[in-house]
Structure 1
């Protein structure tokens, strides 16, 4: 990596020392540089700490369950607006939809029935489903964000039922193996670190008991390395670069998962939730997408970076720590991503001339007026595009694609008015004299909304 690695190393070492963390493992993945890793501390076992050390990643597991659920949707096994009871036999709450469970807006209570954090004995699959009759709906569906491990556990059961296996089997077959995440496992391997509770008033570190989350595993079970998790974060942010064939999930489906469904705080819009993914805006049209994780003795932060000047492709960071109380570590992946872009931005690709616009569209290029505002239509990278004449440089343009078998009709595929049609109207000589975008009239000169006589106009 071109950025001096001691800058990133120092950031990790500072957090390890200040937050008093027994072991930290961090990694940064990007398409244009080798993988960067840094480890500080001791595993708490006879094995030394290195990039191959596994840590519990807790709720980062939810992002995997969300991807498995979206695979089922893409394969036609479910619809996001299906009630979950259509696919699982449930004694209660079967009317809650898959979409609401994915976005934590179903209103279901946070944990399975019972004091699982006292007993550390989560239910098996049969007990999880049977106990739903005792679980509360603490809020009406769609009322607001309310985090629920129970909801994600139900989705894990759903995925296994639809695929004819266990959640763990489906995960390995359909995500871990295709992406080469060989160090990510359901149970800890021989390289696993010990998790600790660091005493608040002394330097003593108390080992936490290992836990198997049983049927709640789809919400928090996995173990992994920082390198694997940085690659996973890069996939969530830029799947076309990490999985160009779409073997795991189509890039368009990840776009759907990253779209905000709800904010996590009604007054501080500093974080949102998509479909199984946490979204953290960074300003300047940059967003970090991923998830945090917490289990007894462990914390994890796994995020990919999208947008902004200098952001390379497939950029993701992971910070895994063996302390359950070192909250300072959860901000570190965001800081590593920002520092890497600031001090080692992606190379600037030179502009090169390209082919001209198709003959039939050359008359569309240039300035048009709609709704009293001026827009500029251009041809770049093989597609027709439009942006407001006063738009800031970083705002993405609208991009259009031809509608098959409908000459002079285009579909907006991204940007402003996505999904809407653009229709061209030509005169008797074939020149484009008028356009309608999302039914609004666009003309070469600024016009009022007065009634237009189309017969006279033609």
Structure 2
């Protein structure tokens, strides 16, 4: 066993023992290695020992799949994220909430469907969920702040099903599970399902929890899965271009949009935020873990992929599935495993090799320029014009420019600083670029005042 695997397994075994988890199943997915799995404990079914095929409830991790279904519908032209719910669903109340605000938990919807679902253990069906919006509250003004809502994501699941002409479960299978090969992910428990427990706080007793079917709330938290399937899903959320290179499920640019922070979950401790249906957990530097946690009676789950950082091989995802409803230590374990993966077994360093020179029309741009009194370096790498502030940290991504068709002296900033803004080139009679305007700010070869006077002239 390699040192990396020893560290990973020890971390898993420590949490299983310390948190007293009856069954713990974890998996790690990465682009450059075979998947790694580890199970500790017992499934609770003497006829089916715990193994990598044992299935656990993943709770609110389900929301990430529903969110992808929503963005698929947007990309297919079936909706706009700023549409009100009422544009697509006939609802008796709260129809002004936008799809975007429901995805980011900023619509102000109450947390749960109307009624005491977690007391009576009976969930509304699809029809009743929507009808009961008339009795549900909007507990906060729209866009005021983050407020987590199972109800909001459940409504979005019903919306997508209506647009696609099927059930949420059938649309999910057709448009995500089958294309990505997530064959062990199901709406209902199978014979391989683990038993979920509440572990006594003051003894070693553990009592099985009931298996509540969420009915119309299913798009928020119903799914069962294996750690292997969920580690692959986490890898997809982090690196769709590697897991889904043909973009059968979602374009990488759309995942970029989903991962962009929309709100923070705490106004004073900015340790986690929400994008569009995804939790974002900064790790320091330019590393972010993206995914979701999940909880259902007797089960907890953590499913995250890693973005950025040295040693990251890409498509790096981890899943931690537990058959205890109170073992919150697993929430930290999923992040620990991702960190161990790159610390103990970093990706191989790829050798640099020479590439093509910049096209003739852009060669006079290369090198240092001054804008707003600060130096910037323009260069050509990987087939594109790039720019970086001269004093930018090495891990800060550059700005990347693409020419506008039929306008070679007008380029669009497609990523990095000033994304979306134009870079306009001005040439002299010989065709040399002598001045540039980026987001309307003037860039020159010499450091100049805003009046255009070189500072070196005194």
State the shift of 1:450 in Å.
1.4
Mapped contact 1:2–1:344 kept (Cα < 8 A): no
SS of structure 2 residue aligned to 1:217 = helix
Deviations 1:33-83 (A, max 9, x none): 010000000000121000000000000000000000000000000000000
Aligned residue in 2 for 1:456: none
Mapped contact 1:29–1:36 kept (Cα < 8 A): yes
- For 2:411 and 2:324, the matched residues in 1 are separated by 54
**What is the TM-score normalised by the length of structure 1?**
0.98
- For 1:4 and 1:79, the matched residues in 2 are separated by 45
Aligned residue in 1 for 2:443: 442
Aligned residue in 1 for 2:11: 11
Aligned residue in 1 for 2:367: 366
Alignment of 1:34-433 (within 5 A): 34-45=34-45, 46-433=47-434
- For 1:2 and 1:385, the matched residues in 2 are separated by 40
- For 2:167 and 2:400, the matched residues in 1 are separated by 42
Q: When the two structures are aligned, how many residues end up with a matched partner?
A: 452
SS of structure 2 residue aligned to 1:127 = helix
- For 2:452 and 2:206, the matched residues in 1 are separated by 77
- For 1:63 and 1:21, the matched residues in 2 are separated by 25
- For 1:263 and 1:443, the matched residues in 2 are separated by 39
User: Unpaired segments of 5 or more residues in structure 2?
Assistant: 454-458
Mapped contact 2:234–2:317 kept (Cα < 8 A): yes
Mapped contact 1:3–1:340 kept (Cα < 8 A): no
Structure 1's 405 and 447: CA in aligned 2 closer, same or farther, altered over 3 A? same
- For 2:264 and 2:28, the matched residues in 1 are separated by 27
Deviations 1:341-391 (A, max 9, x none): 001111100010111100111100000000111000000010000000000
Structure 1's 33 and 3: CA in aligned 2 closer, same or farther, altered over 3 A? farther
State the shift of 1:418 in Å.
0.3
- For 2:3 and 2:318, the matched residues in 1 are separated by 15
State the shift of 1:4 in Å.
3.4
**What is the TM-score normalised by the length of structure 2?**
0.98
SS of structure 1 residue aligned to 2:379 = strand
SS of structure 1 residue aligned to 2:352 = coil
- For 2:411 and 2:391, the matched residues in 1 are separated by 24
Aligned residue in 1 for 2:456: none
State the shift of 1:437 in Å.
0.4
User: Unpaired segments of 5 or more residues in structure 1?
Assistant: 453-458
- For 2:325 and 2:2, the matched residues in 1 are separated by 33
